[in-house]
Amino acid sequence: MIKEILLCKYGEIVLKGANRKYFEDMLCREMKKRAACYGNFQIYRAQSTIYIEPADDEADLDGMFTAAGKVFGIVAISRAAVCEKNMEDISRTAAEYVPSFLEGKKTFKVEAKRSDKAFALDSMEISREIGGVILENCRGIRVDVHHPDVIVKVEIREFGAYVSAGQFKGAGGMPVGTNGRGLLLLSGGIDSPVAGYMMAKRGVRLDAIHFESFPYTSERAREKVLELARIVSEYAGDIYVHVVSLTHIQEELVKACEEDYFTLLLRRYMMTIAERVARMKGCSALITGESLGQVASQTMQALGVTDAAVNLPVFRPCIGMDKEEIVTVARKIETFETSIQPYEDCCTVFTPKHPRTKPELEKVLVQENKLDFQALVEEAMGTMYTVHITPEY
């Protein structure tokens, strides 16, 4: 019976210098955490590859394959058959294992990599011999070394020899947690889940803050946001969602301030509260889904006014993307269908008819000073509660 394992290849971790081991350890730790949901696996690393080997017949390799595809830091994943480091066993394994991967295909080529230089044949000789074995066992297929439908790989490595057919793209990026912790301002829209995914891909561990305006926003709107956090958590790992009420702040803004400043003033409250929560939770940056010029509050001048309310860095990974590009990512990570559910969020409550697009900070502060800014922030902080989102790997 053929023994099958997963070979997961690193991405840019290989470019790290003296601290490469730190990134590798974080990557292995994340992989082991996810593997625990699918049974017993032996997980180890060598030669810029993580090996995932079922420890018993109960281990769910199919489920682990899907989970591994969402681990940041991995660029490619192969299902591979394990064989002894001799050509007789490699040839036998290729004859049994490869044909099912070539069904319906017209062309293939063999690529061999001999990391163990003590192996008798070189890479070209291995490729020729295994190519011949495949041609003997698969009818109606031919070799195409330039544009093959399937690439069959034979790898002679430290622990053994491995035969695979077809390589699947991994999530890429950096292992989550290797670049600190950030607080994502998570709304129910399309953009902010994409922003969280993109920063997690760069190794940032996520917390999230969501602003609600009950009774103007509903319980379904809150559940929608928590579902978005759950979907993102499949890539980013556990996420703590801190929910804060803005209801009283919005009601006070309507009473005291000019309508065309509502959105800007609300954004400054949100950023200030987010910074407070970020510092409480050990986050070193705020993350938003803003895209330059997409709406009135996302002009260059408006972003400058809201950024002036905080001292932490504000990361905006979507800032140069158009809506179509953001939607493409949202569909890829499967947040889009949830995001477009028609439940309101706090930013759609009390929206001005003609919001300021080129605000001046001095004039915004005049409006802001009509209210006791710090007292309202403290009151909002008192409404905060936290929901722990755990991924369903």
Going from N- to C-terminal start, the domains of the chain cover: 3-169, 181-389
Q: How far is CA 22 from CA 51, 236, 283, in A?
A: 18, 18, 20
The dihedral region occupied by 193, where left means phi > 0, alpha psi between -120 and 50, and beta the remainder, is: alpha
The residue-averaged pLDDT of 211-239 equals 93
pLDDT reported for residue 294: 86
pLDDT reported for residue 345: 64
The residues that bridge with 205 in the sheet, in sequence order, are: 181
Of residues 335 and 17, which shows the higher confidence score?
335
| C-alpha to C-alpha distance for 252 and 249, rounded to whole angstroms | 5
User: In the chain, what is the greatest distance between 2 CA atoms, to the nearest angstrom?
Assistant: 84
What pLDDT band is residue 209 in, cutting at 50, 70 and 90? very high
Question: What is the SS3 assignment for 110?
Answer: strand
- In terms of Cβ atoms closer than 10 Å to its own Cβ (0-12, 13-18, 19+), residue 371 is middle
pLDDT reported for residue 159: 80
pLDDT reported for residue 343: 67
| C-alpha to C-alpha distance for 221 and 265, rounded to whole angstroms | 23
| C-alpha to C-alpha distance for 323 and 327, rounded to whole angstroms | 6
Token pair 């800014």 is at which residue?
373
pTM of structure: 0.91
Q: Which residues 6+ apart lie within 8 Å of 25 measured at CB?
A: none
Architecture of domain 181-389: 3-Layer(aba) Sandwich (3.40)
pLDDT digits (tens, 9 = 90+) for 108-147: 999 999 988 889 899 999 999 999 999 999 989 999 999 9
- Torsions phi, psi for 148 (to 5 deg): -75, 150
- In terms of Cβ atoms closer than 10 Å to its own Cβ (0-12, 13-18, 19+), residue 255 is exposed
Cα dihedral 139, 145, 147, 152 sign? positive
pLDDT reported for residue 350: 62
The dihedral region occupied by 180, where left means phi > 0, alpha psi between -120 and 50, and beta the remainder, is: left
The yes/no answer on whether domain 3-169 falls in CATH 2.40.50.180 is: no
The residue-averaged pLDDT of 175-180 equals 95
pLDDT digits (tens, 9 = 90+) for 74-86: 999 999 999 999 9
pLDDT digits (tens, 9 = 90+) for 26-50: 999 999 999 999 999 999 998 889 9
pLDDT reported for residue 359: 85
Cβ(170)–Cβ(74) below 8 Å: yes
pLDDT reported for residue 349: 58
pLDDT digits (tens, 9 = 90+) for 316-356: 999 999 999 999 999 999 999 999 987 666 555 567 666 77
> Among residues 157, 166, 9, 7, which one has the least CA distance to residue 90?
157
